[in-house]
Amino acid sequence: MTDGRVGKGRMSRTSVIATVVIGERYARLHRRAFAWSLERYAARHGYDLVVVDTPLIPPPDGTTSTVTESGFSRYLVASMPEVADAARLMYVDADVLLGPNAPPFHEVSLGGGIGVVDEWCQPSRQDRLAYQDAHGFETSPKAYYAASGFDLDIETLVNSGVFICEPRRHATWLADFAHRHAPIGVDHPRGLHYEQAAFGAELERAGLATMIPTAWNRIWPLHRWHALDCRHDPSPRGRLDALPLLRRQLQDAFGLHLAAGTDHDLAAVLAAAVRPRVGPHDGDRGPTP
């Protein structure tokens, strides 16, 4: 089941934005904190907006798996009837805010490939290495891919939270990828990191990875940590420090990715300021700042 909404000045289905939101808890969060930015962007550029709220790859044996329901379902969106005839699709994770200055994505040059962002260079390669060291994470893209079983000696790391493709050209490849890797990912100890690593590795091997500007998928936790003196202060004072930074980053970024649950409550504060009353797709009022 999908919830399709159409922006003003519809472009005859030439371009579609889509996100996957599975489960009522995530749907409520998306409506309260993130949907407003997608709706505003779609309306500004005349794009269709498709919100997928049922798994396109159900987990095996009737179980529940975030890896298959949300992680791999994204790769079946290009095959959906609502999307398959579109010239361009931009998939965005449900925790991505699209900035008010984001340009039209259908003008991004893909060169026949799938547009993705390198997250390893964010905010810079040196800063990223410091972040990885401080948190005990992998210290190279090669090590990240190897942790999921992929031998890939490369200096970039694809983040799967935003990608731009041409459904007529790429839908079959994306669907084949999803059906091959979803059964492995459902029980893989790396969880959603396996999904992301598999996508990046397969794109690179197929020669389909087209790196687009990092502004399209700015990873908020990485930029936040460095901008706030390499610390995460959960106190009320720390939250107040992060809010103006979030606002500034959203002005500069095309897509701001609040990955790993980072500051979703602050995104809801922004939503409440933009759309303080119940909208046609809201299940409840926005949170009080």
For 241-282, the pLDDT digits (tens) are 899 999 999 999 999 999 999 999 999 999 998 865 434 444
Would residue 222 count as lying in a domain? yes
For 129-139, letters b (16+ CB in 10 Å) and e give eebbeeeeeee
- Using pLDDT thresholds of 50, 70 and 90, give the confidence band for residue 146: very high
What residues have CB less than 8 Å from 11, skipping those under 6 apart? 45, 46, 47, 106
Contact 226, 123 (CB under 8 A): yes
pLDDT at residue 264, rounded to an integer: 94
The Cα 238–Cα 192 span in angstroms is 29
Would residue 171 count as lying in a domain? yes
Closest CA relative to residue 157, chosen from 98, 208, 116: 116
Would residue 289 count as lying in a domain? no
- CATH code of the domain covering residue 252: 3.90.550.10
Sign of CA pseudo-dihedral 248, 268, 239, 158: negative
pLDDT at residue 274, rounded to an integer: 84
The Cα 257–Cα 270 span in angstroms is 14
pLDDT at residue 3, rounded to an integer: 46
The Cα 206–Cα 209 span in angstroms is 8
Would residue 281 count as lying in a domain? no
Paired strand residues for 16:
48, 89
pTM of the predicted model over 0.95: no
**Overall average pLDDT of the 102-122 stretch:** 98
Q: Which amino acid is at 250?
A: L
Would residue 232 count as lying in a domain? yes
Contact 74, 175 (CB under 8 A): no
DSSP label of 87: S
**Overall average pLDDT of the 151-168 stretch:** 97
Number of domains present in the structure of the chain: 1
Residue 102 is part of which domain span? 2-274
Would residue 265 count as lying in a domain? yes
pLDDT at residue 231, rounded to an integer: 72
Tokens of 111: 């060169």
Phi, psi of 163 (to 5 degrees): -150, 150
CA trace torsion 138, 141, 147, 148 (10° rounding): 140
Closest CA relative to residue 221, chosen from 117, 101, 127: 127
Would residue 179 count as lying in a domain? yes
For residue range 221-243, list pLDDT tens digits in order: 999 999 987 776 667 677 778 99
Would residue 214 count as lying in a domain? yes
**Overall average pLDDT of the 58-81 stretch:** 77
